Amino acid sequence: MLVCLDRKVVSLFECGEHVTRATQPHSRNLTAPQKDFAKQMTRAGMKPARIRSAMLLHFGLRPNELPALQKVQNVVCYYRRTKLRGSDTTVTIVAAVQWLAFNGGKDEQEPFTFGWDLDREGIIVVGNGSGEKPFLVGFPPKALLSQAS
């Protein structure tokens, strides 16, 4: 049972199902200033949950006035993907793994990649993380491997 003391409205729920004629409480959308704040914090590297918490102090909100975490996540993820080019796509990961592949000419402290599955040209095969195509790649520097042996 949810009770709104301001409006004197009661909503009844039974096992996750709404049983009154009143509509379910809606999550608040982010206002334009909140979206701008979320974008600014995203550029600074903050995660959505911390951005949502920071909105309490920045905007002087009460906890029940905060937008849902999912709404903040949507704004942050969309902004990161479209404006900051911060998507972790398979193509980007595969390119990074293959660019850092071991070729014998790396510095002692420079990291390189290695994997257990290579194609015919000797290029690391990067899987998708499933059982059939596992994603197994290492990123150690030469110095670390020298210490291990």
pLDDT at 100: 76
pLDDT at 6 over 90: no
If asked whether residues 103 and 58 sit together in one domain, one would say no
Q: What is the DSSP letter of 130?
A: S
Positive or negative, the CA dihedral 43, 44, 46, 51 is negative
Question: What pLDDT digit, counting tens, does each position of 55-105 carry?
Answer: 999 999 998 889 999 999 999 999 988 888 776 666 777 777 777 777 776
- Looking at the structure, tell me whether residues 24 and 43 fall in a common domain: yes
Give residue 66's domain range.
Answer: 2-82
Query: Which residues, in sequence order, are bridge partners of residue 1?
Result: none
The whole-angstrom separation of Cα 25 and Cα 67 is 12
For the beta carbon of residue 137, count every other beta carbon within 10 angstroms.
Answer: 21
- Give residue 125's Cα distance to chain centre: 25
User: Do 129 and 102 share a domain, yes or no?
Assistant: yes
For residues 53, 68, 77, 136, the Cα torsion angle rounded to the nearest 10 degrees is 80
Q: What is the pLDDT of residues 97-143, one digit of tens each?
A: 777 777 776 667 777 777 767 788 877 777 766 777 776 667 666 66
Q: Does one domain contain both 34 and 98?
A: no
Q: What is the pLDDT of residues 24-54, one digit of tens each?
A: 566 779 999 999 999 999 999 899 999 999 9
Number of domains in the chain: 2
Q: H or E segment at 35?
A: helix 32-43
Q: Is the pLDDT of residue 16 over 60?
A: no
Give the residue from 61, 82, 103 where a domain finishes. 82
Q: Tell me, what's the pLDDT at 143?
A: 64
Supply φ then ψ for residue 126, to 5 degrees: -100, 120
Confidence of residue 3 (pLDDT cuts 50, 70, 90): confident
Reported as half-sphere exposure (CB side, CA atoms, 13 A), residue 70 has a value of 3
Per-residue confidence at 145, pLDDT binned at 50, 70, 90? Answer: low
